[in-house]
Structure 1
Amino acid sequence: MVTAFFTTLLMALAFVVLQASSVLSQERPATFADLAEQVSPSVVNITTSTTVAGRLGPQGLVPEGSPFEEFFNQGPRGGPQRSSALGSGFVISDDGFIVTNNHVIEGADEILIEFYSGVELPAELIGTDPNTDIAVLKVDAVNLPFVNFGNSNGEGARVGDWVMAMGNPLGQGFSVSAGIVSARNRALSGTYDDYIQTDAAINRGNSGGPLFNMDGEVIGVNTAILSPTGGSIGIGFAMSSEVVVNVVDQLIEFGETRRGWLGVRIQDVTPDMVAAIDGLDGARGALVTDVPAGPAEDSGMMSGDVILIFDGIEIEDTRELVRIVGNSPVGKEVPVTVLREGDMEELTVVLGRRETSEAVAFPAAAPEEAPGEPSEILGLSLSPITPELSEQFSLTVEQGLVITGISPDSDAASKGLIEGDVITEASRQPVSSVADLKEQIDLAIEAGRTSVLMLVRRGGDPRFVALVLEE
């Protein structure tokens, strides 16, 4: 009986394993050939030509008449010369609009598109966006095969899903590589970064090419690789279609981007700030540090507000807010929920346009320098602003307390404060004297807080810093 029982059990387990492996084999594509055949006619190779300054000849490198002179004398010795570069792209409409990377065509005098069929056509530059490294080109043609964008946040774009990259790696011509989505929402260095990370091989020349899901939809534009060698090591990045679609639509319609603009300076809420902000239950949202004349000020937003919800979306940090605002249309009425002194406030903001408004609202300001004065608080030597200190530190504000000295082992030093910084607010109250600051610190201690939130200005840039209160 026992033997029969174990035999039955083993058979049952074997059946389960067989079923599981059958399901896995059904989900894993047996081949990418059908997908490659379907989308290849829409992928293009891009060759650009640029005029560059001429090189000097070999003078001084080898003696004139030397047998080695010919090796150093490749091309003319002066005057302009032509330089070419290679990249990839893909067709998004039957009348010839093509998407690629900005860095593929930047500075090009001529752009030549080679189609999968071997046909070559010159392209016109429609518009570029260096912030997302996206460019749109146009060829004079009709009835072209094209591909559609897919949802980079939906099915087929999850971590672990299969993807296929196409392009012109190292100038070798049309090439296909496959892998999975390794990670999502990666940031490299740009304000609007939202990269899909993939282990599908991406090399030089793949830039601007499409990253496809298994439905043949473009969920990303292959843009960059992380590699100590310059070749693929399985860490490639494609700008997500969620970002690209909005940019492409604007470039086609206007020839430029028109991003929404809220009109605030913001910073992340750090864990040490939470105790200093009434009503905040964790390090989330975007803390407003400055509100110049503009959309946010018109809505009633104030410095010290914490933006928690924008247009119905809960905000985790400043990066997310900047991306969402930038992807919103100019002129849109947006509901915004902010935390202000422990209470939730509902505001409505009519977005401006970043490209035309930001530089006016936030003009560049000059930095500062060093040495000191008395009144020690929280490891800081503080002084009211005087004409001498204004000149010494090139101050751009007229009221506040200047940091003239700082203890190297203080919490303030660890938070990055330096001599010449100006404290203008404590606990959201303006301070112009040491007595003002002491009063706010005493009130914070009475309220049982372990830190006090200070608004500090360096040049023209404000930021909040939570300083730990001394026992």
Structure 2
Amino acid sequence: MTSVLSKSASLALVASVALPGIALAVPPGGYGDLVEEVAPAVVFIEVTAAQPTGGQLPPNMPEALRRQFGDRLPEARPQQGLGSGFIISQDGEIVTNHHVVAGAQTVSVTLTDGRTYDAEVIGSDPATDIAVLKITSDAKLPFVTFGSSEEMRVGDEVVAVGNPFGLSSTVTSGIISAKSRNINAGPYDEFIQTDAAINRGNSGGPLFNNEGEVIGVNSAIISPGGGSVGIGFAVPSDLVVDVVEDLGDDGRVTRGWLGVQIRPMSEEVAEVLGYDNPRGAVVEAVTEDSPAARAGLKTGDIILTYAGKEVQELRDLTRAVALTEPDDSAQIVLLRKGREETLDVTIGTLPDQDA
């Protein structure tokens, strides 16, 4: 049976009103106290987007035929989408998934107490599948805080809250099954894997630790039949915090840019070099007038370390460069014709965020 990777179609919003300094201990009887604290900030997201329901005319169609057949195409009709999200501030800042609000014309957010608000998309980042919304309320809103995903261990208990299949405020529990999963969803994959039941509609919802802190944003599942089989993935909170902060500034994420095309080291090359396993990133091409070109990188170089950290696989370099502030300097250790060399590079700004 072939597994199909699908993104959950909903988002869940969670909030915490726990008193400062008081940890939410999970009693042997279950998660009731924790859920009571965070549930008020769980929100239901409804999205309206206009999408064409029929085909489109070929761009090279003669003008005479275009005039004849153009008015026969079906008109664009409003398409509805559902999701989840969670409030992270009293003034109504909300985190959800990019794929939940992508292309949205209107976004509506409903709290568990029935209050409904129109939401504005402050910013959205396709590369990490994170988006930030904003609602305005005269009353203070419940909210949750982020915890450290780095401190979580495989086997630790977690709780997911969301709106699977439109069933609001659904709570599931499980453990962290793995960390740093690469599911080929984007260039910065480092997902938390969990067996807590996550279905379509949980997208954008929070994954909590036992203290009621958000340690992940539920984003994807592997599902042969469309339902939960105990393999769900969440964007780790340590990454989400950085993206949310960046989106809050100007609605965009600014990433560092090196200017190289890279590929993995082959088994044969690793054997020749005396490595037990392939490592590093092999430079296939260097972009003209890029930071890499100015630093002296060449085709065939093997980047072994970046800013003092080893490059074991391609995503190690991709993430490290992206997280480097533009105009900051970094040291690269590379292998060139069998000899190690060290170069200093001044990182640029990634020109195309959608790339």
Residue equivalent to 1:283: 278
Residue equivalent to 1:148: 145
Residue equivalent to 1:181: 176
CA distance in 2, matches of 1:45, 1:281: 50
Calculate the aligned-residue CA RMSD, in Å: 2.5
Preserved CA contact (<8 Å) 1:187 1:194: yes
The Cα offsets for residues 25-79 of structure 1, whole Å up to 9 and x where unpaired, read as x998531112112221222110112234578xxxxxxxxxxxxxxxxxxxxxx75
Residue equivalent to 1:44: 43
Amino acid across the alignment from 2:129:
D
- 3-state DSSP of counterpart to 2:317: helix
Q: How many corresponding residue pairs?
A: 311
Preserved CA contact (<8 Å) 1:246 1:327: no
- Among 112, 119, 126, which residue is 2:115 paired with? 119
Percent sequence identity over matched residues? Answer: 47
- Among 98, 101, 105, which residue is 2:101 paired with? 105
- Are residue 31 (structure 1) and residue 27 (structure 2) matched? no
Preserved CA contact (<8 Å) 2:87 2:95: yes
The Cα offsets for residues 69-118 of structure 1, whole Å up to 9 and x where unpaired, read as xxxxxxxxx75543322110011122111111111112221111111222
CA distance in 2, matches of 1:120, 1:309: 50
Q: Residues 1-400 of structure 1: matches in 2 within 5 Å? A: 29-53=28-52, 81-141=77-137, 143-154=140-151, 157-189=152-184, 190-277=186-273, 282-292=277-287, 293-356=289-352
CA distance in 1, matches of 2:164, 2:315: 32
Preserved CA contact (<8 Å) 2:26 2:34: no
User: How many angstroms does 1:276 deviate by?
Assistant: 4.0
Larger Rg over CA atoms: 1
Q: Which runs of 5+ in 2 are unaligned?
A: 1-24, 55-73
Amino acid across the alignment from 2:198:
I
- 3-state DSSP of counterpart to 1:355: coil
Q: Label 1:143 to 1:343 Cα distance change in 2 as closer, same or farther (>3 A).
A: farther
CA distance in 2, matches of 1:226, 1:118: 32
TM-score for the superposition, normalised by structure 1: 0.62
TM-score for the superposition, normalised by structure 2: 0.81
Q: Which runs of 5+ in 1 are unaligned?
A: 1-25, 56-77, 360-471
The Cα offsets for residues 342-385 of structure 1, whole Å up to 9 and x where unpaired, read as 333222211111234998xxxxxxxxxxxxxxxxxxxxxxxxxx
Preserved CA contact (<8 Å) 1:48 1:84: yes
Q: Label 1:27 to 1:85 Cα distance change in 2 as closer, same or farther (>3 A).
A: closer
Preserved CA contact (<8 Å) 1:243 1:327: no
- 3-state DSSP of counterpart to 2:351: helix
CA distance in 2, matches of 1:30, 1:330: 50
User: How many angstroms does 1:176 deviate by?
Assistant: 0.7
CA distance in 2, matches of 1:291, 1:103: 32
The Cα offsets for residues 309-351 of structure 1, whole Å up to 9 and x where unpaired, read as 1122111011221122112222221122222233332222111
Q: Label 1:29 to 1:180 Cα distance change in 2 as closer, same or farther (>3 A).
A: farther
Preserved CA contact (<8 Å) 2:159 2:173: yes
Preserved CA contact (<8 Å) 1:152 1:240: yes
Residue equivalent to 1:458: none
Preserved CA contact (<8 Å) 2:253 2:353: no
Bigger proportion of residues as helix: 1
